[in-house]
Amino acid sequence: MHQPATIHGVPDDECYSFGNSTCTSPDSPCSRPPSPNPNGAPPSHPPRHRYAEPPFNRVDADVILTSSDNIDFFLHTAVFELASPALKQVALRNLQINSVAEVKRYHGQELPVYQVSEDSATLDYILRHLYPTEAPKMDDLDFDFAANVFAAAQKYEIGFIKEAMFNWLLGKFYTNGLNMMGTFALSCQKGIEPVAREIAKEIRCNIADFRGISEFLDFEWMDDITAGQYYRLICYLENSSLSNTLSPPPPTFIHERRHAPFIFPEALLPKLPASDLYNDSQHDIVVESREGVSHRAHRVVLTKASPKFKHLERVFPYAHIPSTKVHEEDNTTKALLALCYSSFELKIDDLEFLHNLMQIARKYEITNAIERMRGVFLTLAEKRRGPIDLVRSFCRAVMYGWDQETGIIANWIIEAEDLIHIQGIPLPVIPEMDEIPARKFAKLLRHLYLKGLGRPDPRRQGPSSHAVVPTRRSAGSVEDSEIPRK
């Protein structure tokens, strides 16, 4: 594997200045003592920053990129901007996020510093391909590192490195005889969409007659990919098999979901009880939302409802009452307090309201609220028995870790005749599939597949048509599967 950059010492005139902290460089001549902390706590020091290997520590550098493992790369904007227009935007993005870029003194001049998400090994490997220096060899790479380089090259729009890593990854698959499903799973896990698409075509080419879920029920990497990634592969293989052509894979298998901070929907606020329950004059703690809105509360109620509140308390310098800050916007904070005070009084009458409350209850470990919602989950799910509703309820039961409910809803899906499509792909694709691992979902699919074996498909001809008709119990009951059911 490519080795991380060797770290060199700090130049003689380097002085890392971070406000009241001492210099973090061990070789720096700076000996200024730290200023006392007004709260009496020991001074906090930022992580030690180190220098990358030449040529990324030249004195004529005009910008610094800091890797995720705190290695400083002293670079020349003219070099990497020509090779990667996207790298030029790194500074702009950091300025937008942080308002002011950090500045470090280096050989008498102040240089802007920008943090990147890549580690030093990945950054070093890419930069050596951009600089007029000997490019690193590819012989000793491994799949994980090559995947990281590919992702970075894709992010920074460095086409020739992206193409080289793509060819290396596929070449590794062909020459080493790597397991096709394993390579597909790793490609999805690492976000390498082009490799996932190519491997999907290879899987299709190696299947004379795709016979559905049973051929891919279980494999070593089932817990490393999502149900959505797995199901999109199955749909592609089935559709290609039916048409007897090598059709192109779908635009994406990966569907990477960018998780935005959860915000409790404003439309659901009227369902919450009035704030009078906790916002009274007898409060002994203030809960402040992310926007700075204060809510009066009672410490004994909060600490009993959620263990998270035992570690959040602090005292504002301008007030005598204890106050705690939560990293939630105000609507979510209101829902959080409602769960702490009145989880058993909430009227939970639909699944979307329940799901939004569960997001908060799980994060803050509000056990009473979770058990309250578990008690009504099946009742609400049974009222919505359409195909999409059932699949969504199944995925959410898996997300919540409710095994008994997962098994019951799986049986509802199996019994729903209108879910069986003639082409053998019975379930609608929904976003929740990308929130759960593939294994339990694959077991559900296999039961649906076996149930539909007795249905003739007019698009299949001759001996390739499925002729095995299992009994109703052996094929259609989750009791015989590995989907847990108490």
Q: Which of 90, 109, 132 is the last residue of a domain?
A: 132
- Which range of 49-53, 222-226, 248-252 scores highest in mean pLDDT? It is 222-226
Q: Within this chain, do residues 460 and 388 fall inside the same structural domain, yes or no?
A: yes
311, part of any domain: yes
Q: Is 313 in the same domain as 374?
A: no
Q: Are 329 and 371 part of one and the same domain?
A: no
Sign of torsion over alpha carbons 94, 99, 100, 102 = negative
Answer yes or no: is 191 within a domain. Answer: no
Q: Quick check: is 305 in a domain?
A: yes
Please tell me the number of Cα atoms within 13 Å of 425 on its side-chain side.
17
Location of structure tokens 């204890």: 322
DSSP per-residue string spanning 118-136:
S-HHHHHHHHHHHSSSPPP
Q: Which residue, among 256, 257, 211, 255, has the nearest Cα to 232 in the 3D structure?
A: 255
CATH of the domain at 114: 3.30.710.10
Residues constituting the chain: 486
Percent of the chain's residues with pLDDT above 70: 65
Q: Between the CA of residue 186 and those of 251, 291, 439, what are the distances in Å? A: 18, 40, 15
310 within a domain of the structure (yes/no)? yes
**Sheet of strand 313-315: strand arrangement:** 294-297, 285-288, 322-325, 313-315
Structure tokens at 438: 């593939």
pLDDT of residue 480: 38
**Within a domain: 234:** no
Give the DSSP H/E element, type plus range, for residue 109: strand 109-115
Of 114, 132, 150, the last residue of a domain is 132
Tell me the whole-structure pTM to 2 decimals.
Answer: 0.67
Q: Is residue 26 assigned to a domain? A: no
Segment among 126-140, 208-222, 235-249 with least mean pLDDT: 208-222
Residue whose structure tokens are 């969504």: 392
Number of domains in the chain: 3
Let me know if residue 381 belongs to a domain: yes
Q: 143: pLDDT confidence band, cut at 50, 70 and 90?
A: confident
362 compared with 62, residue with greater pLDDT: 362
| In a shared domain, residues 400 and 450 | yes
- The structure tokens 């308390």 sit at 313
Please report whether residue 241 resides in a domain.
Answer: no
Of the candidates 132, 164, 198, which is a domain's last residue? 132
pLDDT digits (tens, 9 = 90+) for 9-37: 433 333 332 233 333 333 333 333 333 33
Higher per-residue pLDDT: 435 or 215: 435
Residues 371 and 284 in one domain: no
By the 8 A CB rule, do 150 and 166 touch? yes
Higher pLDDT, 220 or 2: 220
425: confidence class by pLDDT, cuts 50, 70, 90: low
For 461, the domain range is: 367-480
Q: Same structural domain for residues 386 and 473?
A: yes
How high is the pLDDT of residue 112? 82
- Based on the fold, state whether residues 376 and 436 are members of the same structural domain: yes
Query: Do residues 338 and 439 both lie within one domain?
Result: no
Residues 342, 281, single domain; the answer is: yes
The pLDDT of residue 479:
43
The Cα-based distances of 36 to 19, 33, 42, 410 in angstroms read: 12, 9, 8, 62
Q: Does 476 share its domain with 391?
A: yes
pLDDT at 215: 61
